Homo-oligomer: A and B are copies of this chain.
Amino acid sequence: MSKPLEGFRILDFTQFMSGPMCTLLLSDFGAEVIKIENPPLGDATRYGAIVDNGVSGHFATRNRGKKSIVMNMKDEKQKELFLELLKTADAVVENYKPGTMEKFGLSFEKMQEVNPKIVLTSISGYGQEGPYASHGAFDQTIQAESGVMSVTGFPGTDPVKCGVPIADYCGGLCGCIGTLMAMLEAQRTGHGRHVDVSMMDAMIFCLENSMTTYLRNGVIPEQTGNGYASSAPIGAYKCRDGVPLMISVSTDSLWQSFCRAVDRPDWAADESLATMTQRANRRAEVDAMVAELFSHYDSEELARRMQEAKMVYGKVNNLAAVAEHPQVAFRKTMVNASYPNGVSFTVPGSPILMSGMERQMEYEAVPLGYNTIEVLKEVADEDKVHEIFDPVLKNVEETIKTRYGK
């Protein structure tokens, strides 16, 4: 069955996390993504923590389904072939430090001269220009700088980052959105755009609720733990078996249903607890009541009651429970990524399903430079490609062997 982006070609200069997650989604849905890596070592995540037989699980997760070519953009002959490849492409995605593509002589203007419909997407910590453009950025420093940490954690504790690198991921997702929008336009007009995504802005977009509140009332938002300012009980309460259950009793009718579900008609009848505001104002008291009540029930029993009463609740799962979650199994969220050497990793698949397209379960992840000759001989004489790239590929092989013993 066909995929929506079949026929589109993406040239992918991204590395680490934010950029690769952007082009992964394009690849998952049919675009041909050609990852261009700098020889002799390429994307550093190829040599990270989870490595088996010289191939990396983290690299496979983020780069499954993509082709890999090596290219040194500071070498004129190699760059010349890149410009040929550029003529055949729809978009270029990069997450270098701002200014790097220009140093390669590959400004958006230059690319447009070669291919007017090309879209260039740049993902960075703070954006391509401005007083912070030159600041280095990793996920955790953007979580700090953007204010995400200031609202995360229990009240009275030190600010803490989200355990998930959300600045990286949201940067990648926004990069994907910008790329697709500009590609949609280029289909009609023949002209691309330069898309400039900042992880900082992506976090502020996600902070809109707190930020709009602050800009209106001037009260600096604080950490709320697992609760919300607007109502109670909202939070994770421990059950008799020690397992916490997250409940969100965020409306007045949910409060009535909740009281029925836990057999507390006295709470339901208490007029001093009837509204969101009343319960929010007595949060500590309400939290203590619910915590005491939950301590008498096992979590399975409470989950069953919550489900029967159509409450909004969730188990506080660890990743072992998530990997075995019935809904994850049903949606086939986990897929396989295998390298040509036979090593295979189970990894999370795409969060998007589409009609007319079964979930793809098997992907290939490839070693550095694996598709160099095959891809480039399409745009240049094969002998010439071999002449330029055979020595480069040989050096890649030897350097990796020397450095990592494979």
Binding site for B on A (CB under 8 A): 4-5, 8, 17, 21, 25, 29, 48-50, 52, 57-58, 60-62, 108, 126-127, 129-133, 135-138, 140-154, 157-166, 169-170, 173-174, 176-178, 180-185, 187-188, 193-198, 200-217, 220-221, 223-226, 228-230, 234, 236, 244, 246-248, 250, 307, 310-323, 325-328, 330-331, 333-334, 345-357
Contacts and interface: CB of A to CB of B under 8 A. Distances in A.
B317 A147 contact: yes
17 contacts: A4-B182, A133-B327, A137-B314, A144-B316, A145-B314, A152-B164, A169-B170, A187-B188, A194-B355, A196-B354, A197-B351, A201-B350, A211-B347, A214-B319, A215-B346, A220-B318, A221-B318
Contacts of A159: 236, 244, 316
A4 B191 CA distance: 10
Given A61-B212, A136-B310, A148-B162, A198 B317 contact: no
Contacts of A322: 145-147, 204, 207, 211
A319 B210 contact: yes
Given A140-B248, A160-B160, A226-B161, A215 B177 contact: no
Contacts of A323: 211, 214-215
Instruction: Determine how many copies of this chain the complex contains.
Output: 2
A362 to B, nearest CB: 16
Contacts of A246: 140-141, 143-145, 149
Main SS at interface, chain A: mixed
B331 A5 contact: no
Given A187-B184, A352-B195, A165 B209 contact: yes
A24 to B, nearest CB: 9
Nearest to A44: B251
Nearest to A149: B316
B151 A164 contact: yes
Nearest to A121: B352
Given A140-B234, A140-B246, A162 B152 contact: yes
A144 B319 contact: no
B347 A212 contact: yes
A57 B213 contact: yes
A141 B228 CA distance: 12
Nearest to A48: B230
A211 B187 CA distance: 37
A177 B352 contact: yes
A146 B223 CA distance: 21
B354 A193 contact: yes
A205 B131 contact: no
A357 to B, nearest CB: 8
Contact of A166 (B166, B197, B210, B307): B166
Contact of A150 (B177, B318, B356): B318
Nearest to A178: B352
Contacts of A143: 246, 314
B178 A177 contact: no
Contacts of A225: 160-161
Contacts of A62: 208
A141 B352 contact: no
A333 B141 CA distance: 19
A226 B160 CA distance: 6
Contact of A205 (B58, B217, B236, B350): B350
B318 A215 contact: no
B153 A348 contact: no
A42 to B, nearest CB: 16
Contact of A130 (B58, B220, B330): B330
Contacts of A160: 152-154, 160, 225-226
Query: Which of A178, A197, A316 has the most chain B CB atoms closer than 10 A to its own CB?
Result: A316
